[in-house]
Structure 1
Amino acid sequence: MPLDPVTLAVIQAGLQQVCDEMDLSFSRAAFSPVIAEADDRSDGIYSASDGSLIAQGSRGLPVFVGVMQFSTRTIIERIAAGETEPPDEGDIYIVNDPYLGGTHLMDVRFAMPFYRGGRLVCWLSNTGHWPDTGGAVPGGFSASAISAEQEGLRLPPVKLFRKGVMNRDIWQIVCSNIRVSEQRIGDVKAQAGALMVGAERLAALMDRYGDATVEQAIAEMRALAARQMRAMIALVPDGRYEAQAFVDSDGVVDRPLTIALAVTKRGDGLEFDFAGSSPPCMGPMNSVRATTLSSVYLAMRHIFPDVPISAGAFDPLHVTGVAGTFLDASYPRPVSGCAAEVSQRIAEAVFAAMVQALPDRVTAAPAGTSGNFGLGGHDPATGADYVMYQISGGGYGGNADHDGLSNGCSTIGISKAPPVEIMEQKFPVLYRRYALHEGSGGAGRHRGGFGLDYEIELLRGEARASFVMDHGRFGPQGVEGGWDGALNRVEVIREGEVWVPPHLSKAQDIPLKPGDRVRVRTPGGGGYGPPSARDPAAVAEDVRLGRYSPLDAERLWGWQA
């Protein structure tokens, strides 16, 4: 007998609250600014049988929505095959292997079995972006890597905690292979603690409503999410919608990579066919299959945000044609740009295809880069080494109703740039500039939002900088006659000389001395609709606020003062 709607809604909200509390605990207890301030993490509950998603925190990164269910499934399958130790209560597995249902090496996943009366009910899992996992460059974003070993330490699923006690042998192996290892224990305890909070809250929920009722609700939630996604898909006119998106380069070979996509409405489902995309590349802009699938899921979450987060929402979405392309990387292909950059190009391709079918629901392309900037060195003032990781926002695309948001978070998540004050406190840097990248929004009836313009100066010691960004060659796509957003721009100023990376927004191991600076201007969003249809009063207001110069306004919109 189905649960009554009120009970189902209450339990669904309760499961969501469990995940939200895990997210909050993780961020509040973490040491690294990228987790504690930027919230580059996610927590969820996953099926004991196949790892499928049951619930995920509302403030977690959307790209992890699909990925963690694949990594949890991998753990379950490896346990069944005898390749990984079976679980006991209090165990926590650690894994960051991208090829086992992951993203890139810096996204480290923990998974803990949840038991009731000696019976495995589900898995609790979370992912946190560690500032460093070893490899050729501080921060792990090696723009020139040609193998996985150059990107850092790769861990299969192993027990970091056994019955609640840390496995010191595993931890010593980790610490021996990463930079600033003495600082990671704070993040590890925060990540494990978040899972323990989740176990406590989930136990309380099941105590209140009964195990059978909660498990019945979970099954009905999945079926309901599938029905809701199919109801949304019914709004899509029958047909085939084709689009392309481009990665600037792979960081090694200076030519673009193509994401070719055809979306076909088939009955009550959608097929996403990536046949014709570029083959695997030499550099780190390959994507593993789990991230590719998750990128499609998160793009559809952007389009249909009211569908609940559950594996059922993914059931009507079918991804094909990735085999043999750079969207289905296998070992030893490097993948550091996988989750942070390629995933956003995949989402952009989905938006560009779906806007043809649903122009009133889908936006022009957002900035589509996480702006990965790693800086590592030694601070003589503190006598300690450091690894700084900076992410940055960009403009959102315009849509049928209004202009795009300025300096929004990346497509793949809701992470925010760490506060300038925190970064200056923890690292030997000074932010000389932190402002909107004015004029960067693509022209249109509704223009794109603006990116970010920041400049960082190294104050003391020597350091090495690395970048893995994108949209330096192709701006975010405008739609319905709108113009593309402005390009991503990276400049390194050393002894008064300005240097631009040959790959535009990808470079590694750039030496910096005190007084050297790095300036980054992130992309604006694409414009929506023809620029000639924009309200002249809106153009005048942008000019009054200094967002566009009078000359640019005249060039883009034909505006006259």
Structure 2
Amino acid sequence: MIDPVTLAVIQAGLQQVCDEMDLTFSRAAFSPVIAEADDRSDGIYAADDGSLIAQGAKGLPVFVGVMQFSTRTILDRIAKGLTAAPEPGDIYIVNDPYLGGTHLMDVRFAMPVWRDGVIFCWLSNTGHWPDTGGAVPGGFSASAISAEQEGLRIPPVKLFKKGVLDSEIYQIICSNIRVPDQRIGDVQAQASALLVGAERLAALLDRYGDATVTEAIAEMRRLAAAQMRTLIGLIPPGPWRSTAIIDSDGVVNQPLTIALTVSTTAEGLTFDFTGTSPPCMGPMNSVRATTLSSIYLAMRHIFPDVPISAGAFEPLTITGIEGTFLDAQYPRPVSGCAAEVSQRIAEAVFAALVQAIPDRVTAAPAGTSGNFGLGGHDPEKGRDYVMYQISGGGYGGFAGGDGIANGCSTIGISKAPPVEIMEQTYPVLYRHYALHEGSGGAGQHRGGLGLDYEIELLRGTARASFVMDHGRVGPQGALGGSDGAVNRVEVTQGGVTLIPEHLSKAQDIALTPGDRVRVRTPGGGGYGPPAARDPALVAEDVRLGRYTQAQADRLWPNG
């Protein structure tokens, strides 16, 4: 039996390996969405079934489960002869959503780690590429009705063979994406992160021995499962029910519903999605891997002390997604699954469990990544570009206080790229970048404020597309709290301002110099009855300009 001190040191060591991979990836990447926004993640996965062993603390939580499924898919395809067997120095690439993925822009690399001629484990990472082809720059095609319209779909293949980049496969990729000359920087950064991880992991194994580290990994998984089951024991049996609404699928202008019932069982916790809307025509379908990972990350928000390990997921059972838009099958379009639908799934989990364990769960956060893509030609620099903007929003109020303003999305820790970097890189000017005043939902503890920004095209012509959400209804309040403000998008062309038909989704909007796009992201939901809020806190919010006096009088009549 491994002693607790050695176990803790090895667990921290594995975490450090992943953290160094994350840092290497961001520092070496070319694209601002990775280098500045940290839209990436790295992890260690089991050699036999791809189960999660460790992930970087600064990696996107939604990728925790997804890379587990994609690694498992690679192993299964190798066993069936559908993918070539690995050799030392090989690195596989895959972005196929239907093979354990998310959307096409999230490109995963996987590399086996060899010890004495045997694969000890796999290292894998995911990076959001700014473009993978498809109908619109950036890949967020709000009107797509098939996977082919969203971009290049890559099954698991060896991009690096015995340490050497396969130029033929790389040329195929470059021939199907925009600004291909810039991708080599991200590709090399992604591969370098895995090589750094392999070097650091080898040092750890050399120090403690393969057998001891293997024993530690098994014990980490067992303890994570036990800890999750213990915490689930704090939840009353239920059932606890909730719904979450998606504005539309981008094609049919009708809302989609996520229906959820959560119940405790002897084995753990069951999430039943019976009653959820069927598959949709537009890109707001979610593949199974993303759906399951969304539930995992929601539970990580609620019980953050449980170690990141496949064991933490063992007590969680998911049912009722078959035949719904949460279990998309090819060729259903899925560009909105990881960035948007995943957050509605998490919101449904929060809305159900805040009733059961109110001291541990918040009201709904903004729940949208604000995916905004802009592609065009910059005549001053003489080159094409694809710009991808993500944005934060308000967090929900909670038992301990108000929600965070302009926090990162529910699915990760990615931050918006600095305005200065974006203006240096692309022909745009941020005319406005501030908090979305008045957007936090009223409550005893109010929701955090969203973000309010406006981008102007300075030169050349461009096409804008965006896939966002919460434009129809705001993030849910909890325990008597009010909903947060909705997402608002306005496009100004030739001095005329319009609101898109689908509110939060549109594509191929032609922009010329002087045209603008303004986005106001949602505020978080309020927690507890507004009448219970301390009047001094209401007055302080008014003093700081977070709300006007008129807004405060309406939201907190007793304030």
Shorter chain as denominator, the TM-score bin is over 0.9
Deviation at 1:496, TM superposition (A): 1.3
SS in 2 for 1:160: strand
Alpha-carbon deviations, 1:122-153, whole Å to 9, x = none?
Answer: 00000000000000000000000000000000
AA of the residue aligned to 2:415? K
Partner of 1:509: 508
Matching of residues 160-559 of structure 1 within 5 Å: 160-559=159-558
Matching of residues 110-125 of structure 1 within 5 Å: 110-125=109-124
Alpha-carbon deviations, 1:3-31, whole Å to 9, x = none?
Answer: 00000000000000000000000000000
CA contact (8 A) 1:352 1:364 kept: yes
Matches of 1:194 and 1:420 in 2, distance apart?
26
Q: Name stretches of at least 5 consecutive residues in structure 2 with no aligned partner.
A: none
SS in 2 for 1:381: coil
SS in 1 for 2:355: helix
Matches of 2:59 and 2:361 in 1, distance apart?
22
CA contact (8 A) 2:443 2:480 kept: yes
Equivalenced residue count is 559
Partner of 2:139: 140
CA contact (8 A) 1:233 1:268 kept: no
Deviation at 1:237, TM superposition (A): 1.1
Matches of 1:234 and 1:164 in 2, distance apart?
48
AA of the residue aligned to 1:194? A
Deviation at 1:534, TM superposition (A): 0.3
Matches of 1:250 and 1:468 in 2, distance apart?
9
AA of the residue aligned to 1:25? T
Deviation at 1:268, TM superposition (A): 4.3
AA of the residue aligned to 2:294? S
Matches of 1:52 and 1:178 in 2, distance apart?
32
What value does the CA root-mean-square deviation take over the aligned residues?
0.5
Partner of 2:106: 107
AA of the residue aligned to 1:68? M
Matches of 1:379 and 1:11 in 2, distance apart?
50
AA of the residue aligned to 2:485? A
Partner of 1:27: 26
Partner of 2:12: 13
Matches of 2:301 and 2:310 in 1, distance apart?
16
- Runs ≥4 in structure 1, deviation > 4 angstroms? none
Deviation at 1:559, TM superposition (A): 4.9
Partner of 1:149: 148
Alpha-carbon deviations, 1:466-505, whole Å to 9, x = none?
Answer: 0100000010000100000000000001111101100001
AA of the residue aligned to 1:239? G
SS in 1 for 2:401: coil
CA contact (8 A) 2:531 2:558 kept: no
SS in 2 for 1:401: coil
AA of the residue aligned to 2:441? G
AA of the residue aligned to 1:139? G
CA contact (8 A) 2:108 2:127 kept: yes
Matches of 2:467 and 2:295 in 1, distance apart?
22
Deviation at 1:390, TM superposition (A): 0.1
Matches of 1:452 and 1:126 in 2, distance apart?
29
Matches of 1:439 and 1:89 in 2, distance apart?
56
Percent of aligned pairs sharing the same letter: 80
AA of the residue aligned to 2:235? V
Matches of 2:21 and 2:86 in 1, distance apart?
21
Deviation at 1:526, TM superposition (A): 0.1
Partner of 1:81: 80
Matches of 1:546 and 1:160 in 2, distance apart?
53
Matches of 2:399 and 2:56 in 1, distance apart?
29
Partner of 1:46: 45
AA of the residue aligned to 2:460? G
Matches of 2:58 and 2:367 in 1, distance apart?
19
AA of the residue aligned to 1:206? L
Deviation at 1:408, TM superposition (A): 0.1
Q: Name stretches of at least 5 consecutive residues in structure 1 with no aligned partner.
A: none
Deviation at 1:349, TM superposition (A): 0.1
SS in 2 for 1:60: coil
Alpha-carbon deviations, 1:58-100, whole Å to 9, x = none?
Answer: 0000000000000000000000001000000100000000000
CA contact (8 A) 1:234 1:268 kept: no
CA contact (8 A) 1:553 1:559 kept: no
Alpha-carbon deviations, 1:150-185, whole Å to 9, x = none?
Answer: 000000000000000000110000000000000000
CA contact (8 A) 2:40 2:60 kept: yes
Deviation at 1:267, TM superposition (A): 1.6
Q: State the TM-score, normalized to the length of structure 1.
A: 0.99
